Amino acid sequence: MRTPFVVGNWKLNKTIAESLALVTDLKNQLGAVKGVAVGVAPVFSALHSVAKRLEGSSIATCGQNCHYEASGAWTGEVSAPLLADAGASWVIVGHSERRQFFGDTSESVGKKARAVLAANLGAIVCVGELLAERDAGRTLAVVDEQLAGGLAGIDAAGAAKIVIAYEPVWAIGTGRTATPAQAQEVHAHIRAWLANRFGAATADTIRIQYGGSVKPSNAEALMSEKDIDGALVGGASLEAADFIAIVKAARPS
């Protein structure tokens, strides 16, 4: 059985004080939740404070991105080992906003994922098609290409520290969620791809999150699909009550 994993991606939001207020609520209210793993991805400037506040809880602190080199002349970047040093245990790589606005490619996402694993952290590798690609019937081909690049050079041992997040770009921040059936179709395809790459037994253990306008009202229907193992939540992770409701919806019934 895969333990669902629900991660709040706060994007470019929240001061240190606001971040601490939110995680304090989460820590107090999610302390007793069983059967679901939880993480939050604050901005880098708040990450260390958040990780400190979460010490002694099972809520993981995640980076939203990293550079693929560990150190050096890379002004403005942060590396996986330094995120680990600041208290992160996971790093999101290949988010569609990184691909769209900051030049991330499937190849660089793969380098980042390998750097994350080399730093002994878990990598959440994001994939997902644009609306035009879905309309052109290219969804599965796009996802295949992003998986091939994002997981390049990763073996079955590395796969144990990988989570895939399927986030259709047209559903991110738009209020327009994929239907559970639309999401499940892609998740099943991703699992088959993983089985082909790593073997069925390993593929069965890899969690595949759904992301894109997940909210309390649609979380349970999405996460009751067979191959949907949690969620990567943007907007609805900024309020404790909404995020907690989504976490609770992910518990296996």
Q: Give the footprint of ligand PGA on residues 175-214 (CB under 6 A).
A: 211-214
Pattern 122-161, ligand PGA, x by CB under 6 A: ----------------------------------------
Contact between 9 and ligand PGA by CB under 6 A: the answer reads: yes
Question: 167 catalytic, yes or no?
Answer: yes
Q: What is the 3-state secondary structure (H, E, C) of the chain?
A: CCCCEEEEECCCCCCHHHHHHHHHHHHHHHCCCCCCEEEEECCHHHHHHHHHHCCCCCCEEEECCCECCCCCCCCCCCEHHHHHHHCCCEEEECCHHHHHHCCCCHHHHHHHHHHHHHCCCEEEEEECCCHHHHHCCCHHHHHHHHHHHHCCCCCHHHHCCEEEEECCHHHCCCCCCCCHHHHHHHHHHHHHHHHHHHCHHHHCCCEEEEECCCCHHHHHHHHCCCCCCEEEECHHHCCHHHHHHHHHHCCCC
What's the closest the beta carbon of residue 56 comes to ligand PGA, in angstroms? 27
Give the range of 75-83, 133-141, 147-155, 226-234 binding ligand PGA by CB under 6 A. Answer: 226-234
Q: Which one of 16-24, 98-106, 166-174, 185-193 is the stretch in contact with ligand PGA (CB under 6 A)?
A: 166-174
Single out the residue of 51, 115, 234, 244 in contact with ligand PGA (rule: CB under 6 A): 234
Q: Confirm whether 18 is a catalytic residue.
A: no
> Residue number with the shortest CB distance to ligand PGA?
234
Cβ–Cβ under 8 Å, residues 128 and 96: yes
CB of residue 156 vs ligand PGA: minimum separation in angstroms?
27
Beta-bridged to residue 208, according to DSSP, are 164
Backbone angles phi, psi at 183, to 5 degrees: -65, -45
* Stretch of residues binding ligand PGA (CB under 6 A), selected from 52-60, 75-83, 131-139, 231-239: 231-239
- Is residue 93 at the binding interface for ligand PGA, with CB under 6 A as the rule? no
Contact call for residues 230 and 250 (beta carbons, < 8 A): yes
List the interface residues with ligand PGA, window 21-40 (CB under 6 A). Answer: none
Nearer CB in complex with ligand PGA: 192/245: 245
Among 127, 222, 232, 244, binds ligand PGA (CB under 6 A): 232
Tokens coding 189: 């395809």
Q: Contact between 168 and ligand PGA (CB under 6 A)?
A: no
63 touches ligand PGA by CB under 6 A: no
Q: Which residues are catalytic?
A: 95, 167
> Residues interacting with ligand PGA, by CB under 6 A?
9, 167, 172-173, 211-214, 232-236
